[in-house]
Amino acid sequence: MNYIPHTPEDIKQMLSTIGVKSIDELFKDIPVTLRPKSFNLPASKSEFQVTQTLRKLAAKNATGLVNFVGAGFYDHFIPAAVDALTSRSEFYTAYTPYQPECSLGWLQAIYEYQSIICELTGLDVSNASLYDGGTALFEAMMMAVRHTGRNKIILDSGVNLIYRTMLYTYTSNLSIEFVEIPVVHGQSCREELFKFLDDKTAAVIFQNPNFFGAVDDHSDMVERVHKFGALAIASVYPVSLGMLKTPGEMGFDIATGEGQSLGIPLSFGGPYLGFMAARSQLVRQMPGRIVGATVDSDGKRGFVLTLQTREQHIRREKATSNICSNEALCALRAAVFMSLLGREGFKELAEHNYQKAEFAKEILSRINGVQVKRSSPTFNEFTVFLPRHADEVVHRMIDKGFACGFPLGRFYKGMDNYLLIAVTEKRTKEEIRRLADSLEAVL
């Protein structure tokens, strides 16, 4: 099936209008010597055949595991209305709203999304989305580099290792100096930070809750960062902001994060949603599309893509970022999700996550040889020490039907026996009890 509507008669007429005899003539600019050496692709298939093929492949994936793996990407419930609304093809088969008069719905939805991100983070301005939490953090870091004219970055090692690795990849040809400060007793180490903080520092980057699940109040550190004229950047888990102190309240200048938890399925790693919010004085350093409200010639409110002189299609090599396509449909999912939840639903979501994780901590700590790390408070994810290698435990637990957590030894040297366990609102008391029982059995 090829979705091409042309009849042979159409093609004949069109060729005659163009004034050529064959379609081949239209390709005459491609020299014969450059024709494909091979184009060895399978023959066309029907919709039914392709659907069956992929149904079989989908069935090879596990769907029955009870999931306690988070590590930055969480198994949350998605209300049906999110799918119903975002699968309206007037949204998903449109493109970037360059022409406001015929893209008003998209523009308003993005403006509302930006407003929601500002409300979550406690900051002033947001953009229309970035690819994911990692690329968003890179963009935030580069904003700080441009804003301060400095190139030293202090990176808390509680920031997801995946993101730290991405920052190193992206800067491998730029002259950025990184200093990583250790996590001590689960939290950011003030002493080490203050040692490295100086007037060459462009930004300090934290994550809250950090990769180990620990919650912190970074206000004291942010204040110190500002004394040196540097910017403070937070990578945050948006669901936690239904409960936790916001980046805005702690004084952060930029907040970024992975928006997957806001109504976007795990889908094996994407598409996800990078979000970003910042203080208003940084708006002209922001990457990507930004929607603003304005009025038409009758004074009626409407929305447009604005502050475009930051962007690649106008500024080319001088643009603040190279981003063009973003994750608009995922941003819409987040906006619909948050609109459904409202104030109460959002708090409820955070509370359920927190309560269930606290319950799991309590139950798991009763298992002989298991130590739940309690040096700092947590939200919905926490670290446990196991009496044996976490990889082994994870493997055995998979056989028992649990994805029981993320083994920290994969990312941190010397932490082979540590497991990171996430408990979302989807996990029941019963599942948590069974997790504990199974864990006890495999240890």
Partner 1 sequence: MNPFDGSSRATGKSRGMKLIFEKHRDGRRGFSYGLSDVSGTKPLAGKYCRATEARLPCLSELDVVRHYTNLSRLNFSVDTNFYPLGSCTMKYNPKFTERIAAFEGFLQLHPLLPQLSGGGMLAQGSLEVLYESEKLLAEITGMSAFTLQPLAGAHGELTGVMLIAAYHKDQGLRRKYIIVPDSSHGTNPSSAAIAGYKVKVIPTGADGYMDLEQYKKQLNNEVAAVMLTCPNTLGIFNPKIKEITDLAHNVGALMYYDGANLNAIMGKCRPGDIGFDVVHLNLHKTFATPHGGGGPGAGPVGVSKKLVEFLPISRIIRRADATFALDYNHPKSIGYIAPFYGNFGVILKAYAYILALGKEGLIKVAEIAVLNANYCQARLKEYYDLPFDKTCMHECVFSASRQAKNGVHALDIAKYLIDQGYHPPTIYFPLIVKEALMIEPTETESKESLDDFIDTMIKIAELAKNNPSVVTQAPLNMPIKRLDEVRAARQPDLRWKP
Under rule CB under 8 A, which residues in 176-205 are in contact with partner 1?
Answer: none
Report which DSSP code applies to 215.
-
Letters for 26-65 (x = contact with partner 1 by CB under 8 A, - = none) are xxxxxx-xxxxxxxxxxxxxxx--xx-xxxxxxxxxxx-x
Report which DSSP code applies to 297.
T
- Contact assessment for residue 339 and residue 117, using Cβ atoms and an 8 Å cutoff: no
Rg of the chain on CA atoms, in Å: 25
Nearest-approach distance from CB 379 to partner 1, in angstroms: 8
Q: Give me the count of residues in the chain.
A: 443
**Binding to partner 1 by residue 111, rule CB under 8 A?**
yes
Stretch that binds partner 1, among 178-186, 187-195, 366-374, 396-404 (CB under 8 A): 396-404
Stretch that binds partner 1, among 19-27, 146-154, 199-207, 364-372 (CB under 8 A): 19-27
Of 39 and 414, nearer to partner 1 (C-beta) is: 39
Amino acid sitting at position 199? D
The span from the CA of 177 to the CA of 361, in Å, is 39
Angle between helices 133-148 and 161-170 (to 10 degrees): 50
- Contact assessment for residue 202 and residue 145, using Cβ atoms and an 8 Å cutoff: yes
Nearest-approach distance from CB 435 to partner 1, in angstroms: 13
Number of amino acids touching partner 1 (CB under 8 A): 214
Helix (H, G, I), strand (E, B) or coil at 277: strand
**Binding to partner 1 by residue 21, rule CB under 8 A?**
no
Site for partner 1 in 202-221 (CB under 8 A): 215-217
Phi, psi at 187, each rounded to 5°? -115, 165
Of 180 and 348, nearer to partner 1 (C-beta) is: 348
Site for partner 1 in 406-425 (CB under 8 A): 406-407, 410, 425
Of 232 and 346, nearer to partner 1 (C-beta) is: 346
The span from the CA of 300 to the CA of 297, in Å, is 7
Nearest-approach distance from CB 244 to partner 1, in angstroms: 6
**Binding to partner 1 by residue 336, rule CB under 8 A?**
yes
Work out the end-to-end distance of the chain between its first and last CA atoms, rounded to an integer number of angstroms.
54
Q: Which of 151, 178, 229, 306 binds partner 1 (CB under 8 A)?
A: 306
- Contact assessment for residue 232 and residue 204, using Cβ atoms and an 8 Å cutoff: yes
CA distances from 314 to 142, 239, 283, 319 (A): 19, 36, 17, 8
The span from the CA of 89 to the CA of 12, in Å, is 33
Two tokens, residue 145: 């580099």
The span from the CA of 82 to the CA of 385, in Å, is 38
Nearest-approach distance from CB 396 to partner 1, in angstroms: 8
Site for partner 1 in 157-176 (CB under 8 A): 162-163, 165-166, 168-170, 172-174
Stretch that binds partner 1, among 184-192, 224-232, 353-361, 365-373 (CB under 8 A): 353-361
Per DSSP, the residues of 381-410 read: EEEEE-SS-HHHHHHHHHHTTEE--EEGGG
Site for partner 1 in 118-137 (CB under 8 A): 118-120, 122, 124-126, 128-129, 131-135
Q: Which of 291, 334, 370, 408 binds partner 1 (CB under 8 A)?
A: 291
Q: Which of 296, 375, 388, 437 binds partner 1 (CB under 8 A)?
A: 296
Letters for 85-104 (x = contact with partner 1 by CB under 8 A, - = none) are x-xxxxxxxxxxxxxxxxxx
Site for partner 1 in 218-277 (CB under 8 A): 241-246, 249, 258, 265-272
Two tokens, residue 233: 């950047």
Kindly report the CA angle at 260 between 254 and 266, in degrees rounded to 5? 155
Nearest-approach distance from CB 367 to partner 1, in angstroms: 18
**Binding to partner 1 by residue 441, rule CB under 8 A?**
no
**125 DSSP β-pair partners:** 278
Site for partner 1 in 356-395 (CB under 8 A): 356, 358-359, 362, 377, 379, 391-392, 394-395
Of 196 and 340, nearer to partner 1 (C-beta) is: 340
Nearest-approach distance from CB 443 to partner 1, in angstroms: 15
Nearest-approach distance from CB 4 to partner 1, in angstroms: 5
CA distances from 28 to 31, 37, 347, 414 (A): 7, 17, 64, 63
